[in-house]
Structure 1
Amino acid sequence: MCEHLPTCPQAADSAHDAARVVAAHPEQGWSLLCNGVVTFDDTGELMPDGSAVAPHPPKIRTRSAVPA
């Protein structure tokens, strides 16, 4: 159970990767999130139920041009 305020998104939520990291192992290329999701450096994920999410392109945010 997440004790963070505000609480972390559940593993089933679309924003589940916004949960806080509770164990980081950058030398091995993975991190454990508060909601039980394991994220990998290649953007793949292992869900708490054992299912896997294939690596996917990261979301790229663009900025609008600032008027001169």
Structure 2
Amino acid sequence: MCHHRPECPGARCPDGQAARSVAGHPEQGWWLLCNGIVLFEDTGQILPDGRIIGPQRHAGIVPEAAR
């Protein structure tokens, strides 16, 4: 799915949320990463296969994709 060079980490990689943002709605608190992860402001995630990962950090910390 990723066309960046070097390629971004895949959705199943431990550092998957380090992939680049391809779409975002910071006013709604979410970003779509190039590996298919939907990353939320509170660091929660929805993976491409539909699995949900709860927040890993305290709310209010801006995820890497939003920077």
Query: Match of 2:43, SS?
Result: coil
Which structure has more helix as a fraction of its residues?
A: 2
Q: TM-score, normalised by structure 1?
A: 0.81
* Higher relative contact order structure (alpha carbons within 8 Å, sequence separation ≥ 6): 2
In structure 2, the gaps of 5 or more residues are: 59-67
RMSD across aligned C-alpha pairs, in angstroms? 1.0
**1:22 aligned onto 2:36:** no
Q: Percent identity?
A: 55
In structure 1, the gaps of 5 or more residues are: 59-68
Match of 1:40 in 2: 40
Q: Following TM superposition, where does structure 1 have runs of at least 4 consecutive aligned residues deviating by more than 6 angstroms?
A: none
Amino acid at match of 1:29: G
Q: TM-score, normalised by structure 2?
A: 0.82
Deviation at 1:57, TM superposition (A): 1.6
Q: Distance in 2 between matches of 1:5 and 1:34?
A: 12
